Structure 1
Amino acid sequence: MCTLSEVGKSLEHLPVLSDTSFHDLLRFMKFSCMVKPAIEHHTVDTHHPPENLPGSVERLLVGLLGTRIDVIQSYWVLLHHVVWQAEVVVPSANDIQQFNRYAYGDIYPPTYVCLSSDCPNYQMATQFTLQYGVLLIYTTSMYCHKCFRRYHHNFSVHKSTNTRTYYYGVPSTIQVATHFFIDTPLLELFANAKVFGWLSSMNCARIYNIALAHSNAYILNNRHAFAMAPEAEHMGKSWPCSLQMRDEDVLNGFFIYSLLLDKAEKQSQLILVHDSQHRARIDAALIAQNKEMEGIGQEAYPHACDKCFVVLDNEHGQKVKIQAAVCDGNTIGHPCCAVHDCKMPLDSHRLQFCSDHQNLCSICAVEGCNFPCSPGSKTCHIVEHNKLEEAYYKPAKALFQLHARLTRAGLSVPSDSVIGDEGEDVGEESIECDGKSDKGNAYRLKARFGTRRTHNEQLIMRPCGIILARATFYGSEAISAVNEFAKAVFPTPQSTPEYFIFDNNCKLRAHQEAKQDHHFSDTALPVDVFHFNSKHKETDLYCQQHCNPAAFPDLLENGKWRFNTSICEQTNVWLGGYQAILRNMTVHRYNFYLDEMIKRRNRHVNSELKKAGIHTWLLPIAAL
């Protein structure tokens, strides 16, 4: 039992309780003991108090005690052991009257799962935890015959609407598949491993299975070093659910966890269609979230700090703000329709065209050729076009020939060395022929047999390292597309920066003048220092006049550049680390994944700025 002296020492580390009274502590203890059954119902190990109260209990205690949620949380940190060990607490009549205004008592059965082995709700499952490793668990659901809802661990399902409504807040354990659960602390570890280590879901699962699934993994993995004789693992041999974490479990957990975090931050609930396939059910939520992220959707969008927002005195002695933004692209992408700049998602990665352009599958793959394909081929009857296709598939045919020789020699062929079907062949996307042509030496035949990918990911950033927005460019890094992207990120005159830095600003400015687009009329368009020195000609007078960074004195401070105009180039090193991970993701998952990585990275950059003593703040959205 916790002593008064220990409680007093703990109070010193909880400044939020500096003005609390002994009466307040007693009331918290009494009410907490009254709702203890509800707390236990949300606790995995009922022998020990949970580190945090369930969200519903926190909100209840806030109403009962008439205080703030951070005070309730501090009370629990201080007294959770006392509450858990208390046997009998007798509330007063006033306490009961107060309690009945906000809540009702809870009575639960002595078991949380059905004890009938032939019951369909009596299910065995696997729980992956960070603290205890792999746990073998039983799960069940509860059905209310009055409101027609079935209550599962993370969500409830209504019989008539057939919707899956997740509970408020973020649970301590998340169901990622029918028989698999992952603890939230472990999912948080995976999310940060993805942000700072570019770990794929497969590598996250491998690390967990090898190093975290067992408490003595360091011994099991190094038996000779610990002089331990090899022995078979018996745990879970008869368990029907795998004890090995799968990469799809990690990825599903990441998506659900991220969605629940977002809903909790907005104090809303995640609602999905219950009957649909898991991928389709999740994709619907991802699409909605992706839509919110477009343009000004990133939470760090209103960021400002001393490294990207400065106030200067002009020649008239007036205060003027100087804000800069930097734009650049990175050539990572996802599979897309082979038609140039088509944004319709593919129904499958095995397809080359979207549903709107499926008719082009029967047309010769050579660019500019409109003849139909020959039977069993992707090119037409023209010999030169057939040679392109033969050259493209020649490496695969050669490998099959070598396999055939091994088989004739009586040797088996390793299964992992067999090339998949054409839909899985994503090596070279296109091929060219250098041979002579009737159209002249300068003409080259081009064909596309594999999957086309989007051209690049475009970023707009603050010089301090905060990423404001991201956009996928499908066909090319066209100047018109950059202009439209910039207008989406800075949609009002108040939001436009004083300086917009882009490596091809001379073409961007010329485009705006030709279109008589005055959206950025108050924004200077210099080229960043590196690209201006290496990519722009001295003889280009238009570029020198309008885009030379040295022509803008506000960009200089004591002979040095005030802003880091190469921030996008540096950030692209981080962004490029996701190329292999995202290569074959569907467009909706690709966009959600990248936006989540950016959001988490922005939070880290902002915290590092504060640690460095740099003043940061948020600008009011209305002013932008």
Structure 2
Amino acid sequence: MVHPESSTSARLACILFSLPELTEYLTLEDLNRFCDLVRWLRPEITAVQRSHIHTAPPHLPANIHNFFMQVFSMPDEVTKIAWYALREIAWDMGDTDSREIERRVQAMVSAFLCYGLPNDIAFYNLWPPTRSCNDPACQRALPGGETIPRELVEPYIYTATVFSRDIGAIPARVISLYCRNCKTRYYPSYYVHDGASLQTYYPGVPHLIHLSKRTFISGEVCEMFANLMMTSWASATNCARFYNLSLTKPEISVELPSEWNAPFELDTEHVWESFFLYSLLLDHNERGTMLCLPHQEASQADRLLPALNARNILMAGAGQEHWSHCCDLCTARTVDESGQDCGLRSAVTDGVGIGHPCCAVHDCKEPLLTKPKGARYCKLHADLEYHCSVIACEMRADEGFKTCGLPSHRALDNYLNLQNKAMFQLRSRLERLTTSQTSHNLVPTVATLDSLDVACEVKSPQGNKRIRAQFGRRRTHNEETCVASCGVILGRATMFGSEAVSGVLEFWKRLFPTSASLPGVLWHDQNCRLWSMLQNEDEQTRNFFQNIALPVDVFHFKCKHKETDVVCGTHCNPYIWPELRTSDGKWRFNSSAAEQSNVWFGKFQAMVREMHVDRYNFFLDEMVKRRNRMRVKELEKKGYRPFLVPREAWLT
């Protein structure tokens, strides 16, 4: 069998031999480059003919003809001969992988910058994936009764930047087309009906992600950013800096026309928008659905929020991809009373100190208002924004202050304002340093500094009374994770007010909604308290957990629980269950898996501490999903046999 590339090279060599007028200007390598350029610019070349015509046009468009003349230093007539001789071969390359063609054409980027832009040709000319309307109702009838798709017309062209992995930030031209019949405008990544409120993305994940009108980013760069965040906790700011310092080529922006107004540097918001949009497209592609976003929103961040929230709802509880994971490391093969084989799964639950801003009302789970910036309350409690910030005070705050006019309350407000000033902070630090010194020669003037008295600290006739106030935003208490003993994270939940055992119990109920999905062993460092609480629960809840082992992991059992604790010793000692030990006396399961995973999980705090709840949940779920995939591959390499139980088997 002859390799296609060898066959093409042989045909090109025959053409070069039979047309000596080309030999003066082109080598065999030039002919291959010519064909690559034709394939790469095929959408531009076919723009001069109807979309249902699939053969090469007899003549090149004038701007592309001039481009080829300049790239290969050929006169007009020789360029025409070259096109006539090579067009069929170049068109036969239509089935060649477009990514392979792109890699070959990347070597000619400088030619596009030098000769392409003056001829209205960019390296990336971003067309819609179709030049005819996709709506069957827009079929156009021909005289013989045949129907053909309706042509898209009215091209709207503007400049943009593509942030690629291999050649950095590169100029691009964006072309959108319009269907006059159904009034739909088709863009490179999505289409919008005229006056409609939604932009609908095409099926699949595009190679270039459309972030904004003038910004595209390749999926490879999005994947790189996501992996940097997952493996090294790189912030969006540092991802943008890394790209701008390492992958952007400054010489490209220098060679651009002066009127080019698209950005050539990524910023923090570009990185976040690319992460969220790319992850949504991947998710919809995996689910076999199409992404739809509001079209009229002022910013991409606002446009993404409904889709983020919808995915968060799907991921809550048992939504993680590896929620039903089992493997030789977290599941032990056992035999039940009837002699049938069954699996004993082991999972560990633990909390990690990571959270997001939430309503200042204790344990309120409603999302914060997005406006004004820095809002402390949700929509339900929005009126409290104008109340005195002192806890339990029901008076309204005075204008320009966060407290009411009571002297003791106003003193807190004044003290807060003073604390926020750099001079006060430096002075306080110096005072603390001086009082800790045995020598008074360090700063002799400190003794003359007056101390600040706060009215609320003065002893009243009723005795000392400490006044507490909530000036800033409250944060959620922690994240609770449930991790299989092999390290695969089965799910997570946000604890708003505290890490109470009642909250852990509710977390388990949502994560394992059926008895079939419930692991046989659930480790937690407060299982003794949880067991005691279960005795006072309703019969349905007690029955749900009655066949589950609730041990305290070995470390906490030895170091955190008293020997005199009868409940812990008789109901949560892991030695009670022989299934938790191997034949050689070792522990069968890793009871510290959650603590080990939370070391990784907790390092996202700096990245998410100011995130809105929708972004927060989506980001962490996506990080868990990616880490689980990486973990499963590691288990396979080590010889363990990971597998997913069909979700329906445990949910029905």
Cα deviations by residue, 1:3-54 (Å, 9 ceiling, x for unpaired):
47979xxxxxxxxxxxxxxxxxxxxxxxxxxxx99986898999xxxxxxxx
Q: 2:273: which partner in 1?
A: 252
Given candidates 377, 387, 402, the residue that maps to 1:353 is 377
2:565 equivalent to 1:540: yes
Q: Find the aligned partners of 1:567 and 1:583 in 2 and give their Cα distance.
A: 24
Cα deviations by residue, 1:484-526 (Å, 9 ceiling, x for unpaired):
1100111111111111111111111112211132221111111
Q: Is the 8 A contact 1:193 1:199 kept in 2?
A: yes
Root-mean-square deviation (Å): 3.6
2:468 equivalent to 1:446: yes
Q: Is the 8 A contact 1:432 1:446 kept in 2?
A: no
2:517 equivalent to 1:495: yes
Q: Find the aligned partners of 1:328 and 1:589 in 2 and give their Cα distance.
A: 23
Q: Give aligned-pair identity as a percent.
A: 41
Q: 1:350 to 1:545 in 2, by over 3 A?
A: same
Q: Find the aligned partners of 1:237 and 1:513 in 2 and give their Cα distance.
A: 76
Q: Find the aligned partners of 1:45 and 1:329 in 2 and give their Cα distance.
A: 59
- The correspondence of residues 130-169 of structure 1 with structure 2, limited to 5 A, is 130-159=165-194, 161-169=196-204
Q: Is the 8 A contact 2:154 2:178 kept in 1?
A: no
Q: Find the aligned partners of 1:209 and 1:345 in 2 and give their Cα distance.
A: 35
Q: 1:531 to 1:79 in 2, by over 3 A?
A: closer
Q: 1:170: which partner in 2?
A: 205
Q: Is the 8 A contact 1:464 1:564 kept in 2?
A: yes
| Secondary structure in structure 1 of the residue aligned to 2:469 | strand
TM-score by length of structure 1 reads 0.73
Structure 1: runs of 5 or more not aligned: 8-35, 47-74, 86-102, 115-120, 218-231, 404-430
Q: Find the aligned partners of 2:190 and 2:493 in 1 and give their Cα distance.
A: 33
- Counterpart residue identity of residue 548, structure 1: N
2:490 equivalent to 1:468: yes
Q: Find the aligned partners of 1:78 and 1:160 in 2 and give their Cα distance.
A: 34
Q: Find the aligned partners of 1:497 and 1:306 in 2 and give their Cα distance.
A: 14
Structure 2: runs of 5 or more not aligned: 8-35, 47-94, 106-145, 428-453
- Counterpart residue identity of residue 254, structure 1: F
Q: 2:451: which partner in 1?
A: none
Given candidates 283, 286, 294, the residue that maps to 2:305 is 283
Q: 2:604: which partner in 1?
A: 578
Q: Is the 8 A contact 1:501 1:526 kept in 2?
A: yes
Q: Is the 8 A contact 1:113 1:138 kept in 2?
A: no
Q: Is the 8 A contact 2:175 2:187 kept in 1?
A: yes
The structural deviation recorded for 1:613 is: 0.8
- Counterpart residue identity of residue 124, structure 1: T
- Counterpart residue identity of residue 165, structure 2: L
Q: Find the aligned partners of 2:154 and 2:270 in 1 and give their Cα distance.
A: 24
User: How many pairs does the alignment contain?
Assistant: 499
- Counterpart residue identity of residue 243, structure 1: F
- The correspondence of residues 174-253 of structure 1 with structure 2, limited to 5 A, is 174-214=209-249, 233=254, 235=256, 238-253=259-274
Q: Find the aligned partners of 2:460 and 2:517 in 1 and give their Cα distance.
A: 54
Q: Find the aligned partners of 2:232 and 2:563 in 1 and give their Cα distance.
A: 41
Q: Find the aligned partners of 1:466 and 1:38 in 2 and give their Cα distance.
A: 49
| Secondary structure in structure 1 of the residue aligned to 2:374 | coil
Cα deviations by residue, 1:186-213 (Å, 9 ceiling, x for unpaired):
1111111111011111111100000011
- Counterpart residue identity of residue 266, structure 1: R
Q: Find the aligned partners of 1:150 and 1:38 in 2 and give their Cα distance.
A: 27
- The correspondence of residues 258-337 of structure 1 with structure 2, limited to 5 A, is 258-277=279-298, 278-313=300-335, 319-337=341-359
Moved more, 573-582 or 531-540: 531-540
The structural deviation recorded for 1:280 is: 2.4
Cα deviations by residue, 1:277-328 (Å, 9 ceiling, x for unpaired):
3222210100100000011111111111001111124688654421111111
Q: Find the aligned partners of 2:285 and 2:45 in 1 and give their Cα distance.
A: 24
The structural deviation recorded for 1:154 is: 0.3
Q: Is the 8 A contact 1:363 1:371 kept in 2?
A: yes
Q: Is the 8 A contact 2:347 2:482 kept in 1?
A: yes
2:411 equivalent to 1:376: no
Q: Find the aligned partners of 2:238 and 2:395 in 1 and give their Cα distance.
A: 46
Q: Find the aligned partners of 1:79 and 1:477 in 2 and give their Cα distance.
A: 50
Cα deviations by residue, 1:48-84 (Å, 9 ceiling, x for unpaired):
xxxxxxxxxxxxxxxxxxxxxxxxxxx9679988xx9
2:550 equivalent to 1:509: no
Q: Find the aligned partners of 1:38 and 1:469 in 2 and give their Cα distance.
A: 50
Q: Is the 8 A contact 1:129 1:186 kept in 2?
A: yes
2:643 equivalent to 1:611: no
Q: 1:203 to 1:512 in 2, by over 3 A?
A: same
Q: Is the 8 A contact 1:236 1:243 kept in 2?
A: no
Q: 1:150 to 1:315 in 2, by over 3 A?
A: closer
| Secondary structure in structure 2 of the residue aligned to 1:448 | coil
The structural deviation recorded for 1:143 is: 0.3
Which one has a bigger Cα radius of gyration? 2
Q: Is the 8 A contact 1:38 1:106 kept in 2?
A: no
TM-score by length of structure 2 reads 0.70
Q: 1:286 to 1:4 in 2, by over 3 A?
A: closer
Moved more, 460-469 or 348-357: 348-357
Q: Is the 8 A contact 1:177 1:249 kept in 2?
A: no
Q: 1:79 to 1:521 in 2, by over 3 A?
A: closer
The structural deviation recorded for 1:595 is: 0.5
Q: 1:416: which partner in 2?
A: none
| Secondary structure in structure 2 of the residue aligned to 1:265 | helix
Q: Is the 8 A contact 2:411 2:455 kept in 1?
A: no
| Secondary structure in structure 1 of the residue aligned to 2:535 | helix
Q: Is the 8 A contact 2:407 2:455 kept in 1?
A: no
Q: Is the 8 A contact 1:133 1:215 kept in 2?
A: no
Q: Find the aligned partners of 1:381 and 1:391 in 2 and give their Cα distance.
A: 14
Q: Find the aligned partners of 2:562 and 2:601 in 1 and give their Cα distance.
A: 29
The structural deviation recorded for 1:136 is: 0.9
Given candidates 594, 597, 605, the residue that maps to 2:623 is 597
